[in-house]
């Protein structure tokens, strides 16, 4: 079974990789991804300065999903710029995730990371967890202005990591921004921002930052993720590759993302739960699904969802 894929002209030997944020902050995390069956190494979103993130507890998984308000804990881009060349020994694509608290942070990180030559950059317009900083992806004009400046600087192909949208008008508006800018790929979706999970016994929220509000991931967000993959695939076709993220626990979930139009799939909550061994299981389960449905590759299945 051919599980390989191509994103922005870069070949991936399998279409499964970590979602930025899940087990990818430290050198050890990144090396474990390198040694695993993951098809790529995606870094934690990086900012100019190292950050320890929000106060704990800040990540809780529960039956059906996870809630997080990590607050961008990362080593800072200078550390990732130093680490990336060493990760090349794993002979798989390296995707540098770029974030910031203000536009200048993104531009600084893009310029610095150029020299480390990651294969791709994923510009994160959708972190929901910085108090007082709205998700840029919900402001179409601000997104376009930032991406145009990134385009002027980036020396490798770049894509965007988007928040979930819940209205076709918003999918259309963002697709137009992406087309005008000429981004190479998109990753949809980031966590569903500012959900609330609580413990009725103790009558308390389960995470500390922002009064308990945080990004929701895992099984319960799959329909939202699939809808965003499908909406953008229908708007953009195969001109811009889509990395589906959200709600993937099994090979069936990966298969569903690919049917909707995803060229690759990222794994978040279940990677945190199961560690990097999850990639072998998902690879096996995806191959079984493709075989059962008569496809010989990920490519052959992409976008084949039927409508009634």
| 164 is an interface residue for ligand RRO by CB under 6 A | no
Name the token pair of 284.
Answer: 């096996």
The sign of the torsion formed by the CA atoms of 219, 222, 225, 229 equals positive
Name the token pair of 166.
Answer: 């819940």
Q: With contacts defined by CB under 6 A, how many residues of the chain interact with ligand RRO? A: 16
| 269 is an interface residue for ligand RRO by CB under 6 A | no
Nearer to ligand RRO, 14 or 45 (CB): 45
Min separation Cβ 68 and ligand RRO, Å = 5
Pairwise CA distance, residues 227 & 44, whole Å: 25
Pairwise CA distance, residues 298 & 307, whole Å: 20
Contact pick of 45, 241, 245, 263 for ligand RRO (by CB under 6 A): 45
20, 27, 91, 185 from 84: Cα distances, Å: 15, 9, 12, 21
Nearer to ligand RRO, 110 or 286 (CB): 110
Pairwise CA distance, residues 247 & 244, whole Å: 10
Contact pick of 5, 14, 36, 124 for ligand RRO (by CB under 6 A): 124
Nearer to ligand RRO, 135 or 184 (CB): 135
Nearer to ligand RRO, 118 or 128 (CB): 128
From the list 24, 127, 260, 301, the catalytic residue is 127
Is-catalytic flag, 127? yes
| 99 is an interface residue for ligand RRO by CB under 6 A | yes
Total length of the chain:
308
Query: Using an 8 Å Cβ cutoff, are 195 and 163 in contact?
Result: no
Pairwise CA distance, residues 123 & 181, whole Å: 13
Pairwise CA distance, residues 59 & 66, whole Å: 7
Nearer to ligand RRO, 5 or 66 (CB): 66
Contact pick of 5, 69, 241, 269 for ligand RRO (by CB under 6 A): 69
| 14 is an interface residue for ligand RRO by CB under 6 A | no
Min separation Cβ 217 and ligand RRO, Å = 7
Phi, psi at 2, each rounded to 5°: -95, 105
> What does the binding site for ligand RRO look like in residue numbers (CB under 6 A)?
21, 45, 68-72, 99, 124, 126-129, 190-191, 215
Task: Please identify every residue annotated as catalytic.
Answer: 127
């Amino acid at each position: 079974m051919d599980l390989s894929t191509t994103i922005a002209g870069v070949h991936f030997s399998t279409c499964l990789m970590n979602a930025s944020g899940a087990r990818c902050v430290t050198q050890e995390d990144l090396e474990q991804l390198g040694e695993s069956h993951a098809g790529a190494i995606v870094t934690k979103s990086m900012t100019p300065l190292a950050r320890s993130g929000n106060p704990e507890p800040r990540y809780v998984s529960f039956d059906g999903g996870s809630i997080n308000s990590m607050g961008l804990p990362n080593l800072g881009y200078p550390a990732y710029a130093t680490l990336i060349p060493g990760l090349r020994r794993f002979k798989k694509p390296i995707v540098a995730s770029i974030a910031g608290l203000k536009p200048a942070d993104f531009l600084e990180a893009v310029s610095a990371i150029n020299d480390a030559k990651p294969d791709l950059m994923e510009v994160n317009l959708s972190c929901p967890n910085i108090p007082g900083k709205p998700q840029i992806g919900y402001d179409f004009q601000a997104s376009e202005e930032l991406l145009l400046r990134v385009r002027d600087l980036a020396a490798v192909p770049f894509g965007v990591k988007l928040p979930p949208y819940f209205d076709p008008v918003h999918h259309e508006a963002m697709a137009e921004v992406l087309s005008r800018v000429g981004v190479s790929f998109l990753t949809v979706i980031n966590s569903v921002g500012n959900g609330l999970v609580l413990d009725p016994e103790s009558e308390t929220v389960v995470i500390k930052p922002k009064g308990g509000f945080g990004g929701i991931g895992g099984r319960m967000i799959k329909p939202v993720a699939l809808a965003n993959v499908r909406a953008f695939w229908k708007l953009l076709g195969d001109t811009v590759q889509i990395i589906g993220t959200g709600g993937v626990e099994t090979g069936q979930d990966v298969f569903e993302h690919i049917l909707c139009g995803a060229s690759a799939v990222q794994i978040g909550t279940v990677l945190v739960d199961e560690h990097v061994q999850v990639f072998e299981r998902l690879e096996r389960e995806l191959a079984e699904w493709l075989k059962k449905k008569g496809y010989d590759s990920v490519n052959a299945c992409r976008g084949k969802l039927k409508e009634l």
